[in-house]
Amino acid sequence: QVHLVESGGGLVQAGGSLRLSCAASGRTFSSYGMGWFRQAPGKEREKIAAISWNGGITYYADSVKGRFTISRGNAKNTVYLQMNSLKPEDTAVYYCAAGVQLVATTTAAYWGQGTQVTVSS
């Protein structure tokens, strides 16, 4: 059974940093893109960052470009999101996802349960 488990969320003041981690298990993810989506209250889920299977291609939403950095672990079954210069509008539930074409699309085959990130002003 496939599991994606996020960690690292929490409460932080504006301007601060958090690092989210996602550990995937249950199959080989070396050929999958992985990424992060978020959903704020009353808003649709949006893709904010994604990375290709070999780490060579990344995608960032305009809202996080220059502040967030996505990376993959050497084993290819972990993905991280370093979030700097956090803003109150970054407050959301953050979801880890995996999909073969996740960099180019929003189609994910697997999802994590989500981790809450709250940025106070």
pLDDT digits (tens, 9 = 90+) for 34-66: 999 999 999 999 999 999 999 999 999 999 999
Q: What is the pLDDT of residue 74?
A: 77
Residues of the chain with pLDDT under 50: none
How far, CA to CA in Å, does 44 sit from each of 9, 22, 56, 93? Answer: 20, 21, 28, 11
Question: What is the longest distance spanned by two Cα atoms in the chain?
Answer: 40
Q: What are phi and psi of 76, to 5 degrees?
A: 70, 0
Angstrom distance (rounded) from CA 48 to CA 115: 15
- DSSP state, residue 71: E
- Contact in structure between 18 and 40 (CB atoms under 8 Å): no
The pLDDT value recorded for residue 75 is: 78
What confidence score (pLDDT) does residue 76 get? 80
